[in-house]
Amino acid sequence: MPTLDFLNSRLSVPSRQLGEPGPTPEQCDQLLAAAIRAPDHGKLMPTRLVLIRGEMRAKLGAALAAIHRRTDPDAPEATLEKDRERYNFAPLIVCVIVRVDEHRPKVPAQEQILSAGCVAYNLLLGAQALGYGAQWLTGWAAYDRDAAVLLGLAANERVIGFVHVGTAQKAPIEGPRPVLADVVSELRL
């Protein structure tokens, strides 16, 4: 498939529509190796990846639901159930984490964050190239300090997102795309 056709066919598959089989160990290694080949100003490699699979998916969901219950005792049970189940569909979830070094004047924090974002996007593209579906999600847990502690993040680390990878259980639906004229302009000085 020519490159632009591949990019033009990229679709997210909702995480709840992802299931087994997931990438084999060899495919997982290939996917991760390709994903970390992202733009990286200063060669900092500000990204690290935490794999969540097997029984850890349910354990993470239960722990996050407990955090949610502590922070919001009035949270509806349906919301907590969604927290518990969120990670139980895709066989592989990759938590993409950025280590921000604020003391790099030539590599601003934003560039470090964007580099990690490119790793997450490469995971989406790589999963598709291997024949899998994927979705990049954040949710409240990506921004919660207690969840960060649960995930083992240092004070200078942030979750970029959770990339869910598996086999699409039904065909993804093409969503609306912007019209080029609405998002592209020429610089005129």
The pLDDT tens digits of the residues spanning 98-157 come to: 999 998 889 999 999 999 999 999 999 999 999 999 999 999 999 999 999 999 999 999
Mean pLDDT on 22-46 = 95
Segment of 39-43, 91-95, 106-110 carrying the highest mean pLDDT: 91-95
- Predicted confidence at residue 117, as pLDDT, reads 98
Q: How many Å apart are CA 18 and CA 99, to the nearest integer?
A: 29
> Is the predicted pLDDT of residue 26 greater than 80, yes or no?
yes
Strand pairing partners for 75?
none
Q: What is the DSSP letter of 174?
A: P
Domains, the chain, with CATH or none: 20-170 (3.40.109.10)
CB-count burial class (<10 Å; 0-12, 13-18, 19+) for 175:
exposed
